[in-house]
Amino acid sequence: MEYKKKKLCLPGDIVGVIEEFIPSKNVYQENYNLRSKVIGTASFDFESKIVEVIPKSMNLGIPKVNDEIIGIVDQTQGGIVSVRILEINNKPVHSQFIGLLILRSFAGNVGPKIVLKLGDLIKAKVISLTNNLIHLSINDEKYGVIYTKCSFCGGDVQVVGRRIQCVDCKMVDERKLSSDFGMFKKH
C-alpha cells in the first residue's frame, strides 16, 4: 500500500495499519489500525516502517471577529447550524469551541434551502461574539462546504453545476459550496 503526505490529518484518522508500520509520535493503535492523536501531517519512513503525525502549531485563543474558521457541522435545526470549530485562521485549536450559523431563506424560494448537512466540513467567518456566542457567516463565495460525503450512501461527491452529485449512487444534493471545495482531502 502506498501512502502520501496528507494535507491535514484529524484526530482519529487512520494513517496506516500495524502490518505495514510501527506507530511513533502522535500515533496510537486501535485493533489493526494506526490512528492520529492530533491534527497534523502524517509522515512515513518507508525504510524503518515508522509512521508519525507532525502536529500543526496550536491556537490557544478564542476566535475573534473577522477570523476564519474551519469546522464540522454538528447539528442543524430550524435554520440554526451548530459548528464544532477545529481551526482558527488555519491553526488547530486545543478546546472545542462551538459556533452558530443562522441560515436564511434565499429570496424567491419557497421554504428554507438546505445548504449544510451534518458532518460537512465548512469554512466560515466569525461575524460577532454577542452574548458570548460565536456567530458565523458563510455569505462570501470563499465560505461554505470544503469537504463532504453523500448524505444518502456516504460515497464521494463531485461538483455538478452549483450542486454536488454522488459518484456511487448518483444522488444530487444541494450545498453552499466554498470556492475551496475539492481542495481539501480528508483521506
Query: pLDDT tier at 78 (50, 70, 90 boundaries)?
Result: confident
In tens, the pLDDT along 79-108 reads: 899 999 988 998 888 777 899 998 875 444
- Which architecture, in CATH terms, is 14-55? Beta Barrel (2.40)
Q: Which residue in this structure is represented by grid cell 460537512? A: 120
Provide the phi-psi class of 79: left if phi over 0, else alpha when psi is between -120 and 50, else beta. Answer: left
**The dihedral of CA 103, 78, 11, 155: what is its sign?**
negative
164: nearest Cα among 176, 154, 153? 176
Higher pLDDT residue, 45 or 109? 45
Helix, strand and coil in the chain, % to nearest 5: 0, 45, 50
* CA–CA dist 107, 47 (Å, integer): 59
> What SS3 state is found at 176?
coil
Question: Which residue type does 128 have?
Answer: S
pLDDT at 187: 40
- Give residues with Cβ within 8 angstroms of 154, minimum separation 6: none
Residue 116: half-sphere exposure toward Cβ, Cα within 13 Å? 34
In this structure, what C-alpha cell is assigned to residue 160? 455538478
In this structure, what C-alpha cell is assigned to residue 61? 485563543
Boundaries of CATH 2.40.50.140 in the chain?
A: 68-173
Residue 12: half-sphere exposure toward Cβ, Cα within 13 Å? 0
* 68-173: CATH, from 3.50.7.10, 3.30.200.20, 2.40.50.140, 3.40.50.970: 2.40.50.140
DSSP-assigned letters across all residues of 42-69: EEEETTTTEEEEEEPPPB-SPP-TT-EE
In tens, the pLDDT along 108-128 reads: 455 446 688 898 999 999 999
